[in-house]
């Protein structure tokens, strides 16, 4: 059976596909995670952060493959690191995702707040995605929302504004690997383990699921990684 897939072009001067963060370090992966794409689509569909059940249902239905397009003569992604330092005084407050301002704790204000964030520079990723049967938006609903999103979109982090519309068209294929092949673009790619792909593809277990009810890491899944000819 052949399915219809949406074809997304994710390109920006800087973008981030966040990996597992430890302490103040925010890494980036080469490919988007399930949770990142869920958040991106939820933003286009005007879902509110507190609508955790709708986010979870969307993530549970999402099936996708992703392909990296490298500039000429580059074989690996170019990663740049932004080191951020901020001195927080006693009265300073920070914006949070849980709705209450964050305040500085402790008695001393001399040490700055430090964090490090990695970004993919001048990178482009193609994504093919579809939604498994279930309650919620249809693939056409998602396509319409991507064409006219309810809110401004960013790729991974708020400074990462896309350099072009995200919806690049549609694709067809029985699997994500076949849909990626139908784009006619070569590069390194990941796709769900559906029993197809080149013999030399690598099998990975990646932690990229989110529990939208708790807001915490929600598990891992198996993907294949290899080259699309």
Model confidence pLDDT, tens digit, residues 205-228: 999 999 999 888 888 999 999 999
pLDDT tens sequence across 171-215: 999 999 999 999 999 999 999 999 898 989 999 999 999 999 988
Q: Is residue 93 part of a domain?
A: no
Q: Which domain does 15 fall in, by range?
A: 3-83+117-228
Q: Is 108 inside any structural domain?
A: no
Decide if pLDDT at 110 tops 80. Answer: no
Give the sign of the dihedral formed by CA 140, CA 179, CA 197, CA 37.
Answer: negative
Task: Flag whether 110 is in a domain.
Answer: no
More confident residue, 138 or 27: 138
Q: Residues 6 or more apart from 22 whose CB is under 8 A from it?
A: none
- Please say if the pLDDT value at position 121 is more than 80: yes
Q: Which among 154, 155, 131, 133 is positioned nearest to 143, based on CA atoms?
A: 131
Count of domains for the chain: 1
Asked if residues 33 and 156 have their Cβ atoms less than 8 Å apart, the reply is no
Question: Between residues 57 and 229, which one has the greater pLDDT?
Answer: 57
- CA atoms within a 13 Å half-sphere pointing along the CA-CB vector of 227: 7
pLDDT at site 101: 73
Asked, for residue 147, whether it belongs to a domain, the answer is yes
Residue 111, domain member (yes or no): no
* Strand, coil or helix: 144: helix
Mean pLDDT over residues 158-173, rounded? 94
Looking at residue 144, which CATH number applies to its domain? 3.30.70.2660
pTM: 0.87
Is 94 contained in some domain?
A: no
Judge whether 112 and 85 are in contact, CB under 8 Å.
yes
pLDDT, tens only, 16-74: 998 777 777 788 899 999 999 999 999 999 999 899 999 999 999 999 999 998 766 67
pLDDT band at 136 (very low <50, low <70, confident <90, very high): very high
Instruction: Tell me the average pLDDT of the chain.
Output: 89
Cα 126 from chain centroid? 12
> Average pLDDT of 123-136?
96
Dihedral sign of CA atoms 95, 96, 102, 108 in order: negative
Question: What average pLDDT does range 107-125 have in this prediction?
Answer: 80
Q: Residue 107: what pLDDT?
A: 57
Crossing angle of helices 34-44 and 139-147, in 10° steps, is 70
Closest to 228 (Cα-Cα) out of 121, 29, 69: 69
pLDDT value at position 115? Answer: 82
pLDDT at residue 103, rounded to an integer: 67
Q: Which residue has the higher pLDDT, 74 or 134?
A: 134
Position 144 pLDDT exceeds 70: yes
CA 45 to CA 51: how far, in whole Å? 12
Mean pLDDT of 68-81: 80
The pLDDT of residue 169: 97
**Which residue in 15, 17, 41 sits closest to 159, CA to CA?**
15
**pLDDT confidence band for 160 (50 / 70 / 90):** very high
């Amino acid at each position: 059976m052949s399915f219809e897939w949406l074809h997304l072009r994710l390109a920006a001067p800087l973008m981030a596909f966040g990996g597992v963060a430890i302490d103040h370090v925010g890494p980036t992966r080469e490919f988007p995670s399930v949770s990142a794409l869920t958040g991106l689509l939820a933003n286009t569909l005007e879902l509110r952060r507190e609508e955790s059940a709708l986010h979870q249902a969307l993530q549970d239905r999402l099936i996708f493959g992703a392909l990296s397009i490298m500039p000429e003569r580059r074989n690996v992604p170019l990663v740049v690191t932004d080191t951020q330092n901020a001195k927080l005084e006693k009265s300073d407050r920070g914006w949070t995702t849980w709705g209450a301002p964050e305040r500085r704790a402790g008695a001393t204000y001399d040490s700055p707040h430090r964090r490090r964030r990695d970004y993919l520079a001048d990178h482009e990723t193609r994504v093919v995605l579809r939604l498994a049967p279930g309650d919620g938006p249809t693939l056409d609903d998602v396509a319409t929302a991507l064409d006219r999103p309810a809110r401004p979109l960013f790729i991974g982090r708020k400074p990462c504004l896309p350099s072009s519309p995200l919806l690049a068209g549609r694709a067809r294929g029985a699997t994500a690997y076949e849909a990626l092949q139908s784009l006619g673009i070569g590069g390194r790619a990941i796709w769900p383990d559906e029993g197809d792909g080149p013999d030399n593809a690598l099998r990975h277990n990646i932690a990229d699921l989110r529990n939208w009810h708790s807001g915490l890491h929600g598990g891992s899944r198996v993907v294949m990684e290899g080259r699309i000819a």
